[in-house]
Amino acid sequence: MCLSIPSKVVKIAEDKSFCTVDTMGVQRDASLMMMEEDDIKIGDFVLLHIGFVMNKIDDVSAQESLDTYQEILALLDEEEKAKIILEDDNCPTRTI
């Protein structure tokens, strides 16, 4: 199922077409082509979906979710962490 893990924007490409996000310590690129230019800034939390930033997440709620996820993920080793994120990427419900 979709965890909808909030990801933090850590870098924005020069042409602003994509950004690098940090999802629970794992970094990857995501397209910004669905967002208005300058909508997304470094440090923002975003919701990812099939390689795209879908929207910004309200900071306060994002921090709350992250704290919860962090408590759980602290119990996991790196391999399991990667597995969770991969599972979220391959979420069967991601098309809705």
Partner 1 sequence: MQLENLYDDFRDADTIKAYAKIIANDAKKLKKPINIMEVCGGHTHTIMKFGLPQLLPKNINFIHGPGCPVCIMPKERIDHAYILSMQSDVILVTLGDMIKVPGSHGSLQDARSKGADVRFVYSPLDSIQIAKENPDKKIIFFAIGFETTTPMTAVLVEQVIKLKIPNIVFHINHVTVPEVMVELIDSRDVHVDAYNNQIDAFLGPSHVSVISGSKIYDKFPKEYNRPVVVTGFEPVDVMHGISMILKQFIENRCELEIEYKRVVTYNGNLKAQALIEKYFQKVSLFKWRGLGNVPDSGLRLREEFANLDAEVVYKDILPIAEIEDHKLCICGDILRGMAKPHECTIFGTACKPTTPIGSCMVSSEGACAAYYKYGNLL
Q: Which residues bind partner 1 (CB under 8 A)?
A: 1-4, 31, 33-36, 39, 47, 49-52, 54-58, 61-62, 65, 68, 72, 75-76, 80, 83-84, 89-90, 92-96
Residue 45 to residue 62: CA distance in whole angstroms: 7
**Residue placing its CB nearer to partner 1 in the complex, 24 or 35:** 35
Cβ-based nearer residue to partner 1, 78 or 96: 96
Q: Which residue is it, tokens 């967002």? A: 35
Smallest distance, Å, CB 58 to partner 1? 5
Residue type, position 31, single letter = S
